[in-house]
Structures are given as C-alpha cells and as structure tokens.
C-alpha cells in the first residue's frame, strides 16, 4: 500500500494506525535458530530441517493481518516499512513517515530472542510489550490493552506484560522514541525458543495475534470490534459437500499471500497431497486458492485439480 496522507485516510476513518513491520529480511541476525526437524503446518511442509525462519516473515505477515482487521473495523492504517521485505527501511525514516502522516498511534511488530539466537533456549519465552522511557499515559494505556487482549486470546507460557524499553534492553528504542504519537512495540514470542519459533509461519497464529491487537486498538479508540465474516470469504459450496485440491505436479509452492512473488513463498507441497479449499482468489492472470491451513496455492490445472466430496 502506498503511503497516504492523513487527509486521504480520514475520508475512510477518524483514526489512522501506523503499522511498523519490524526488522527487514536483510537485517543481520534477525532469524531463528536452525530448525531441529522439518516444520509442517496442517500437513504442509513449510520449512526444512536445518533452515531458519527470518523475523521479517512474521513481522510482515502479522502486519498484513492487522491491516485487514483494522479495515474491517473502519480504522485506517499505513505501513512504515517496505512490505516486500526487500529493503530494511531506516527507523528514522519509518518514524518520519508516521509523524508526517499524523498517525494517531503506532504499533511495531516483532519476534524476540536472547543472545545471538545460535542455539535453542528454554529460559525466555512468551509475550512482551514495550513502551519507551517517559512515554505518555496514552502509550501506557495502549500497551496495557495489547497485553490484555493478547494474553486472553493466545495461550502464552509466560507474560512479561508491559515494560519500559530501557528496563529490558538498557536503552530506548528509536521507533518508540522518535515518533510523536502513542507507540508500542510487541514481541509476540521468542524465535530462539523452538516451540514459539514454529508458530512464526503459521497463518492461523499470525491472524489470531493480529485480531487480538485489533481488539486492543478498538478498545483504545472506543470503536466497536467487528468479528471476521468468514462466510463472505468462503467458496460457495453446499453444506454436504467440501471442495478439495489435489497436487498433480511433482512439487508446487505454497504462499503466504495471493500472489506469485518470490517473497510470498513459504514452502512446498508434493504430488498426491490433498487439501481442503476454503476460497478461490480471482486474479489477473492465474487464479489462486486459499487452503484451510491459511496458505495460498496456484489454481492452474497444470499443477492442481479440484474435486468435491
């Protein structure tokens, strides 16, 4: 989404949320420990043993889900980062964009780690929300609401709650310090704790976390939270029939978004695999299907066939 000014977005909503998709794909060290085994999500191989998960894969995905949820609740949004993941936009530039647009609040999405994340650890885990030193009471209110809703909706093993950045890291965080509006940074888990790292590529978990944050934003603004209308997103099939997809090519990419960019590829499915379809995505060119697991796949009959049962 191109950067819009506050005047443009105010026609859609009284409020504007700056969504900051954390560190970029090229940020050094921002990745999980190498996986100890193949990672499957709902039967689909999304990452092989020995591979890593980059923090930006989580940051971008949860940011997109948050934008979708806010839009449904008639709250405007803007992105501060490069949402292709190709460029790690400087923090000062991100803060400038949010300030210039006159955003009401900023939420920065991250995934945590201790040390160099070179080996798996079990000491640190769970939810952490940060606000900067000497932040406003509005930042504290927003942070506490984020903790409240995330803790209620996500089964965290531990909850650090809302903390000052200086108390956790020893210094203030630029994205929180340089922005004019109430701002918080959310660490949704630890990518050097394997149990939580494996959730980073799970679309259902990404969406669930984003919805919890949307609830917090709605409560902060005093806006009604609108539940996702899943019926509108599903394919029109009868109650007695379910639509399935079978992979007929040797291997087919699965994706985090309904596009064919390199950045959206998150894994592969192999010939013979059968998956439940919940949505057909009409596109210019080749259409796509959204599977029950939340991932997207080509609808090309050269690679897949669809049938009812």
Question: Does position 2 have pLDDT exceeding 50, yes or no?
Answer: no
Among the three residues 186, 221, 256, which one is the final residue of a domain in this structure?
A: 221
Residue 81 lies in a domain: yes
pLDDT tens digits, one per residue of 209-248: 999 999 999 999 999 999 987 444 444 433 446 889 999 9
Q: What is the reported pLDDT for 84?
A: 84
Single residue among 186, 202, 221 that ends a domain in this structure: 221
In angstroms, what CA-CA distances link 234 with 73, 89, 281, 306, 307?
20, 36, 10, 15, 16
Shared domain check, 164 and 54: yes
What pLDDT, on a 0 to 100 scale, did the predictor assign at position 17? Answer: 97
pLDDT higher than threshold 60 for residue 121: yes
Q: Give the domain CATH number at 234.
A: 2.30.30
Regarding whether 104 and 52 lie in a shared domain, the answer is yes
Given a cut of 90, is residue 199 above it in pLDDT?
yes
Q: What is the mean pLDDT of the chain?
A: 89
| Residue 234 forms part of a structural domain | yes
Task: Name the residue range of residue 236's domain.
Answer: 230-308
At residue 263, the pLDDT reads: 78
Structure confidence at residue 10 as a pLDDT band (50, 70, 90): very low
Which of residues 221, 244, 263 is at a domain's end? Answer: 221
Q: What is the pLDDT of residue 13?
A: 66
What confidence score (pLDDT) does residue 43 get? 82
Same domain, 198 and 247: no
Which tens digits make up the pLDDT trace of 201-211? Answer: 999 999 999 99
> Is the same domain home to 176 and 257?
no
Pair 163, 128: CB distance under 8 Å: yes
Q: So what's the pLDDT on residue 128?
A: 98
Reported pTM: 0.76
Q: What is the mean pLDDT of residues 180-206?
A: 97
213 and 256 inside one domain:
no
| pLDDT confidence band for 278 (50 / 70 / 90) | confident
Q: Dump pLDDT digits (tens) for 50-101.
A: 999 999 999 999 999 999 999 999 999 999 999 988 889 999 999 999 999 9
Residues 150 and 13 in one domain: yes
The larger pLDDT score, comparing residue 263 to residue 22, is at: 22
């Amino acid at each position: 989404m191109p950067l819009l000014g506050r005047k443009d977005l105010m026609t859609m909503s009284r409020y504007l949320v700056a969504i900051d998709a954390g560190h970029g794909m090229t940020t050094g060290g921002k990745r999980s420990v190498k996986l100890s085994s193949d990672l499957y999500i709902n039967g689909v191989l999304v990452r092989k043993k020995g591979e890593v998960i980059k923090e930006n894969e989580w940051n971008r995905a949860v940011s997109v889900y948050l934008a979708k949820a806010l839009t449904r609740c008639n709250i405007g949004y803007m992105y501060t980062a490069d949402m292709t993941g190709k460029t790690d936009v400087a923090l000062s530039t991100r803060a400038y964009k949010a300030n210039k647009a006159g955003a009401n609040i900023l939420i920065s999405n991250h995934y945590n780690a201790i040390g160099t994340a070179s080996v798996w650890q079990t000491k640190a885990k769970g939810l952490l929300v940060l606000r900067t030193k000497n932040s406003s009471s509005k930042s504290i209110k927003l942070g506490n609401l984020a903790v409240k809703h995330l803790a209620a909706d996500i089964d965290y093993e531990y909850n650090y709650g809302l903390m000052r950045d200086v108390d956790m890291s020893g210094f203030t965080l630029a994205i929180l310090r340089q922005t004019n509006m109430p701002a918080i940074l959310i660490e949704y888990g630890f990518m050097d704790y394997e149990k939580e790292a494996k959730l980073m590529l799970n679309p259902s978990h990404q969406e669930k976390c984003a919805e919890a944050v949307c609830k917090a934003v709605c409560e902060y603004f005093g806006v009604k939270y609108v539940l996702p209308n899943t019926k509108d997103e599903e394919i029109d099939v009868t109650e007695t029939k379910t639509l399935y997809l079978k992979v007929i090519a040797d291997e087919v990419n699965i994706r985090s978004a309904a596009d064919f960019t390199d950045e959206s590829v998150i894994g592969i499915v192999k010939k013979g695999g059968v998956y439940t379809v919940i949505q057909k995505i009409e596109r210019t060119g080749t259409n796509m299907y959204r599977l029950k697991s939340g991932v997207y796949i080509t609808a090309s009959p050269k690679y897949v066939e669809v049938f009812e049962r």
